[in-house]
């Protein structure tokens, strides 16, 4: 009876977990939003592999409880044991250790590599040819984006500044530096599986590399006041040629319209030094030469 219980429990648990793992990745409906990022699969895979384990463990637990309540109910005679024998303690600790090393271990390993190789590896992003740098200034309740323009320097006459309209080219990383004029906002890109807070008094960074063209949502993910729910912007991924064309034209337009007296509009800052993190690839010479002095140390 006991062995049969165990077999059925495990089979059911395995079946449900496999279903969970096989959950369709793309929308519509209740699934993850469309994955438009080169590295998005890492997050999706980790979510689904963990979901497999989570469902497995949860179903085992529920079936265990169900069998206990039915087969070991009022009519069953309870076993007088305290569970503090050496064998029992070893068993309990071994099961815990197994779960810890398998499930938590999987999460730990992949998270460390995912953030170390990609998500928080800004030197890698900066080193890719054609990487685009964009400065984001968050307000209550809109997103401004600034492009350096042909001269490669921020806060100059040829900068392109947009409102709620971020355009990036396909085939290269888009690197963002985030700031806020008032309260904390959070630059959220659901289709690229990433977000980062825009903190007043600090400059935060985020990057991704798109893998397909299209229009995607940018959302605010940190409560920032009454219109937090409306603080959306549009991210457009364009083919490289279209992007370059747009940037050139927009830059020429803004150079013509540039007003030296409008200091509020000149909110840009010198791009901060990409700081190498241990284990990351080394900084290429070009990136260090171009960077200006950092304007603010990273907080704790």
Partner 1 sequence: MDIQPIHPAPTAFLPRYVFSKDHKYIAKQFLWAGLLFLAFGGSLAMMIRWQWAYPGEPMPIFGSLFLSKTGGVITAGLYPSLFTMHGLIMIFFAITPILIGAFGNWTIPLMIGARDMAFPTLNMLSFWTFLVSQMLMVASFFMQMGAGAAGWTTYPPLSDSVGTPGWGQTLVVAAIFVTGVATIMGGINYITTVIRCRAPGMTWGRLPLTVWAMWLTAILNVLFVPVLGSAGLLLLLDRLFGTQFFIAGASAVNGGGDPLVFQHLFWIFGHPEVYILILPAWGIICDLVSFFSRKPAYWYKGSVYAMTAVTILSAVVYGHHMFVTGMNPMLGRTFMTFTFFISVPAEVLFLNWLHTMWHGSIRLTTPMLFVLGAIFVFGLGGLTGLFLGTISTDLYLHDTMFVVGHFHLTMAAASFLASFAAIYFWFPKMFGRQMNQTLGKAHFWFSAVFITLVFCGQLIAGYAGQQRRLFDPYQYTFLHQLLPLNRWTSICAFVLGASQFLFVYNFVVSIFAGAKATDNPWEVGTLDWATASPPPYHNFDKVPHVQRGPHEYSDPEVKKALGRDWIGQWEEMPGGTPAQAAPKLAAEGSHG
Partner 2 sequence: MSASVTDILRYPSPRERDENTAWLGMLIFLGSWAMLFAGLFFAYGAVRSTLHRWPPAGLPKLPVALPAWNTLVIALSSAALQTGYVRLRRGAMAAPFVLASFLLGTLFLVLQAVLWIKVWRSGLLPSLGPYPSAFWALTAFHALHVAIGVGALLALAIGTARGIYNPARHLAVRLWAMYWHFVGAVWLLIFATVFVL
The residue count for binding partner 2 (CB under 8 A) is 4
Site for partner 1 in 157-196 (CB under 8 A): 179-184, 186, 188, 190-191, 193-196
Q: Which stretch binds partner 2 (CB under 8 A): 80-88, 155-163, 245-253, 292-300?
A: 292-300
293 binds partner 2 (CB under 8 A): no
Tokens representing 253 are 């337009």
Site for partner 1 in 68-87 (CB under 8 A): 68-69, 72-84
CB of 17 to partner 1, least distance (A): 12
Site for partner 1 in 232-251 (CB under 8 A): 232
Q: Which residue has 């309740």 as its token pair?
A: 141
Q: Which does 267 bind (CB under 5 to 8 A by kind): partner 1, partner 2, none?
A: partner 1
Tokens representing 180 are 């806020």
CA pair distance 128, 168, nearest whole angstrom:
14
Query: Among candidates 156, 204, 154, 198, which has minimal Cα distance to 177?
Result: 204
Q: Which is nearer to partner 2, 215 or 298 (CB)?
A: 298
Site for partner 1 in 24-43 (CB under 8 A): 27-33, 42-43
Q: Which is nearer to partner 1, 24 or 130 (CB)?
A: 24
Q: Can you tell me whether residue 234 is helix, strand or coil?
A: strand
Q: Which is nearer to partner 2, 145 or 203 (CB)?
A: 203
Cα 25 to Cα 33, 41, 147, 222, 261, distances in angstroms: 8, 10, 33, 26, 51
CB of 165 to partner 1, least distance (A): 15
CA pair distance 176, 137, nearest whole angstrom:
10
Q: Can you tell me whether residue 166 is helix, strand or coil?
A: strand
CB of 92 to partner 1, least distance (A): 5
For CA atoms 243, 192, 222, 31, the dihedral sign is positive
282 binds partner 1 (CB under 8 A): no
């Amino acid at each position: 009876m006991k062995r049969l219980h165990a077999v059925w429990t495990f089979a059911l648990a395995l079946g449900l977990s496999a279903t969970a793992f096989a959950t369709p990745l793309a929308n519509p409906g209740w699934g993850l939003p469309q994955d438009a990022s080169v590295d998005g699969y890492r997050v999706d895979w980790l979510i689904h592999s963990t979901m497999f384990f989570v469902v497995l463990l949860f179903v085992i637990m529920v079936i265990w409880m169900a069998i206990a309540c039915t087969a070991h109910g009022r009519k069953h005679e309870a076993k007088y044991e305290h569970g503090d024998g050496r064998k029992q303690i070893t068993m309990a600790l071994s099961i815990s250790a197994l779960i810890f090393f398998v499930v938590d271990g999987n999460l730990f390993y992949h998270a460390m590599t995912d953030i170390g190789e990609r998500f928080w590896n800004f030197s890698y992003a900066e080193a890719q040819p054609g990487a685009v740098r964009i400065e984001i200034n968050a307000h209550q309740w809109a997103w401004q984006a600034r492009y350096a323009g042909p001269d490669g320097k921020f806060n100059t006459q040829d900068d392109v500044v947009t409102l709620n309209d971020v355009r990036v080219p396909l085939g290269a990383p888009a690197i963002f530096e985030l700031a806020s004029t008032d309260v904390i906002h959070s630059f959220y890109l659901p289709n690229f599986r990433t977000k980062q807070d825009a903190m007043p008094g600090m400059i935060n960074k985020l990057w991704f590399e798109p893998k397909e063209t299209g229009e995607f949502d940018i959302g605010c993910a940190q409560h920032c006041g009454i219109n937090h729910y409306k603080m959306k912007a549009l991210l457009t991924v364009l083919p490289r040629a279209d992007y370059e064309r747009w940037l050139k034209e927009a830059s020429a337009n803004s150079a013509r319209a540039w007003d030296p007296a409008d200091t509020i509009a000149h909110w840009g800052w010198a791009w901060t030094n990409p700081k190498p993190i241990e284990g990351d690839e080394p900084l290429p010479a070009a990136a260090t030469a171009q960077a200006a002095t950092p304007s603010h140390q990273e907080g704790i």
